[in-house]
């Protein structure tokens, strides 16, 4: 149909779909088993939400479009997810799924110890002490052993961290 026969007020603006956490191009979508469970639970919740949308036809259509967009992004993450099982026993070096205790050797947090678990981008949460394996601090720590020093750039500072413990 020619655009000349469409009323301007019939044209809906495309809904804004918030992007998921960034995953650098070419980097595999590593997830922990917990991370995959959370992605699947999120999909189930969105599907339930989609089936229970209420309101006028326009309101339902808009809300369902947003949910469909979120489901598309989520399904892409689920399809590309590569589950990485945590190693059994003592870990010799920091790797995906490790919980690592490190101490700041320099910088504004000098002397402070932090504990983080290296996880997939969709399950990262500083409040839960989980950082994405693609974060600069995580990339610096991966492959390091207890007592070794990792270094990464934070703004204009070169931050150095000492690995204290790996679990």
CA angle at residue 128 from 111 to 16, to 5 degrees? 120
Q: How far apart are CA 39 and CA 33, in angstroms?
A: 10
Q: What is the pLDDT of residue 5?
A: 55
Mean pLDDT by 10 residues, the chain (167 residues): 53 78 92 96 95 88 92 95 81 92 94 96 95 96 96 93 95
157, exposed or middle or buried, with CB in 10 Å at 0-12, 13-18, 19+?
exposed
- List of residues 6+ apart from 40 with CB closer than 8 A: 78
Both structure tokens of 87: 């190693």
Strands (E) across the chain are located at 29-31, 81-83, 99-104, 113-119, 130-132, 149-154, 157-166
Pair 85, 97: CB distance under 8 Å: yes
As a whole number of angstroms, the distance between CA 69 and CA 94 comes to: 36
48-58 pLDDT tens trace: 999 998 888 88
| 78 and 43 Cβ atoms separated by less than 8 Å | yes
Domains and CATH numbers, the chain: 18-83 (1.10.287), 99-166 (3.10.50.30)
pTM of this structure = 0.81
Backbone φ and ψ for 45, nearest 5 degrees, come out as -65, -40
Q: Which residues contact 11 (CB under 8 A, 6 or more apart)?
A: none
Task: Express each pLDDT in 112-147 by its tens digit.
Answer: 999 999 999 999 999 999 999 999 999 999 999 999
Predicted pLDDT of residue 1? 47
């Amino acid at each position: 149909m020619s655009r000349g026969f469409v009323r301007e007020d019939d044209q809906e603006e495309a809904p804004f779909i918030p992007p998921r956490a960034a995953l650098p191009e070419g980097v595999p979508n590593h997830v922990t088993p917990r991370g995959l469970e959370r992605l699947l639970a999120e999909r189930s919740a969105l599907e339930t939400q989609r089936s229970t949308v209420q309101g006028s036809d326009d309101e339902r259509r808009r809300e369902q479009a947003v949910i469909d967009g979120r489901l598309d992004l989520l399904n892409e993450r689920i399809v590309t997810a590569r589950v990485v099982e945590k190693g059994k026993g003592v870990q010799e070096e920091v790797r995906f799924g490790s919980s690592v205790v490190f101490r700041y050797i320099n910088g504004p947090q000098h002397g402070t110890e932090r504990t983080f678990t290296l996880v997939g981008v969709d399950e990262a949460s500083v409040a839960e002490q989980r950082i994405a394996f693609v974060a600069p601090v995580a990339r610096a720590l991966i492959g390091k052993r207890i007592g070794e020093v990792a270094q990464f750039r934070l703004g204009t500072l070169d931050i150095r961290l000492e690995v204290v413990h790996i679990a």
